[in-house]
Amino acid sequence: MSLNTYLARFRQALEKFEDYGFSEYFDFHQEIRPGKQAVINVTVVLVNNSVLYIKGYIAAKYKLEILAYAYYYQKKDGQLIFRYDNAKHKPSLPSREH
């Protein structure tokens, strides 16, 4: 799959929040970089004012690879509900994805 196809499908999937009336606000920002790389930043404010943040770094030079990602879902007051990312931590965690 090409980088542009992946980004278009990813955006279409997230737009379903709007299509189904689940979001108040939707912002999808992508930056295409040289070498078939992209950075995405997404903010979705849901109807209950909770917020989903998605960040990703994608490379597609030889094959499509999601090199780094972070998903944060929090209440309207900023209290974290869910977090999932593949960032390196110190001290090390037993798994890279957490």
Q: What is the pLDDT of residue 1?
A: 82
State in Å, rounded, how far the first CA of the chain is from the last one: 26
Which residues lie below 8 Å from residue 59, measured CB to CB, with a gap of 6+?
35, 36, 37, 65, 67
Average pLDDT over residues 24-46: 95
- Nearest one of 43, 15, 49 to 29, comparing CA atoms: 43
| Length of the chain, in residues | 98
Whole-angstrom Cα distance, residue 88 to residue 98? Answer: 10
Whole-angstrom Cα distance, residue 30 to residue 60? Answer: 15
Whole-angstrom Cα distance, residue 31 to residue 85? Answer: 20
- The answer on pLDDT for 90 being more than 80 is no
Average pLDDT over residues 74-86: 92
Q: What is the pLDDT of residue 97?
A: 53
- The answer on pLDDT for 40 being more than 70 is yes
